[in-house]
Copies of this chain bind each other. A is one copy, B any other.
């Protein structure tokens, strides 16, 4: 696979693809709960994706992608690129389908994520997040082996799969309050989840939350073209959202559908994690708390039918304790 093929996968993600993926996911996994959380007298609805078997929504896109591979493709294996949650999603789906998986992961990924990915039977290839280009490493690995690259966000199947969280949340909110979401606030790294949710819920306004220093998608939307993160060594605890730049197929959807968003500070992320601990009794990782942090900050307003993604819970105990202190 050349870099050009990676940048242009030959098709755009579609709402029909999201709905097809939702049917596959419904057969595979129970729905994650949509939990009410009262913030200053207003109830917002939290999609608890840390309760997925791998502790994050990434299982959705990985399953949609891998289960659509042909028998010939399955024989040659898959290569994933991820700080950890997509890694586990690909490894989980690969093990279930009997496909061999290699995952390119940053050497400073949380220990819990590295261990969990290996425990799922995947081979892990480490790289230096500040000095190496992970997409180049992955492209080289796929060229050598003929394996299929399963990108963490720049892939139409992956985007469609992540969107299934929106299909579920819309039905769950409808059952609780009689209507679907008019606003969705999504944690945003490369924009796979946000783009998927936008396709899943055409009537909802989409807002995104990125960590301070890694708000390249917000910058790209403002500039009207894709811009990368200026400083790849900028420190953040939101490892799940540390993506150097979004991809054209994500950006096309986000440009058309995102209404706004904000970059959240470490203190705001910590406050959101603590609130989720106290009120929902859930463990949310820093990157998974960004959307709620955006609402708590007041810079993204909630409506009476707002869904917020709590997108993952894979966090080391030491980091968790420090963040909620």
Contact = CB atoms under 8 A, between A and B. Distances in A.
Given A30-B33, A281-B282, A283-B283, A274 B317 contact: yes
A121 interface: no
Interface string A281-325: 111100000000000000000000000000001100100110011
A51 B317 contact: no
Contact of A278 (B35, B112, B321): B112
Contacts of A35: 51
Interface of A: 30, 32-33, 35-36, 48, 50-51, 53, 55, 112, 172, 176, 274, 277-278, 280-284, 313-314, 317, 320-321, 324-325
Contacts of A48: 51
Nearest to A278: B112
A281 B51 contact: yes
A85 to B, nearest CB: 12
13 contacts: A30-B33, A32-B33, A33-B51, A35-B51, A50-B281, A51-B280, A277-B317, A278-B317, A281-B313, A282-B282, A283-B283, A317-B324, A321-B325
Contacts of A280: 51
